[in-house]
Amino acid sequence: MSEKKHMGMKAKTRLSNTIIYIILTVMSIVWLFPFFCIVCESFRVESTHQVGYVLPKQWGFDNYINLFTKTDFPVWFKNTFLIALFVAVIQTVIVLCMSYTLSRLRFKSRKGLMNVMLILGMFPGFLSMIVLYKVLNGMGLTGPNSIPGLILVYVGSSGMGYYVSKGYFDTIPRSLDEAARVDGANRLQVLTKVMLPLCKPIVIYTILTAFMGPWGDFMFAKYIAHASSAGMTVAVGLQSMIGTPSALTANYTMFCAGGVVVAVPITILFMSLQKYYVEGVTGGAVKG
């Protein structure tokens, strides 16, 4: 009797596992399908507009060659890379300063400061762009020179994005700091000698997200750099490439190629640091 029931359980587990495998496989196909399509379409030679099939009839690198020789894509890529590099460094320093202070140090206006941040965060970020654009424009940091302008805009308010890394710092026992303090370390030494080595995952997480931000942002970049191709980032540039119906017909496959060129390095970087990203998200995002 009990033997039979046991067998039943086993069969049931096998059935439910099979269902799960089927669901996961279908999901994987759905999730990968767009990427498969964009790669295939980027190699299509016979036409440049949208078509109703995935596999090209004629394969070739024409779109990639055109992308690098006939458009400003190399400039956009260089711009975005530069911006991302600066943002990654400056934003990481700012976010870590902010989150470390709010997590580990206790001072009079701490709670009030956090409440003010919360309230400021309720205003849509784009609102401040109207005046920032005018001021940056007056300083000549828009249009073709928008690289420094965009760096300023991205890092300017990055202190408000401290939640995830503060959540991570919160999980580290305070007794560690106290022990170091008792041993005579000052607070700067506690930060550099005790905390940072322990917080490698969140440091890498912060660098990674800061670096990826400019590649994915559209709203700010579009507003600051809309007027001049020389100052665009890849997001704005590629969107302008297919912005009108006639441009879409002419450039669609080239846009696909551009998308692939942008996505491949970012994806490789991301996947190779995935471990830290996951630790950062699971360690900080929820508890933040």
CB atoms within 10 A of CB 242: 18
Q: Which is nearer to other proteins, 1 or 30 (CB)?
A: 30
Q: Which residue has the tokens 């490698």?
A: 200
Measure the CA–CA gap between 90 and 50, rounded to whole angstroms. 41
The closest alpha carbon to 239, from 255, 223, 254, 225, belongs to 255
Least distance (Å) from other proteins to the CB of residue 11? 13
Q: Which is nearer to other proteins, 62 or 177 (CB)?
A: 177
Least distance (Å) from other proteins to the CB of residue 226? 8
Least distance (Å) from other proteins to the CB of residue 152? 7
Least distance (Å) from other proteins to the CB of residue 105? 5
Tokens of residue 179, six digits: 């022990």
**Which DSSP category does 59 fall into?**
B
Longest dimension (CA), the chain: 85
Tokens of residue 185, six digits: 């370390």
Burial string for 97-112 (b: 16+ CB within 10 Å, else e) reads ebbbbbbbeeeeeeee
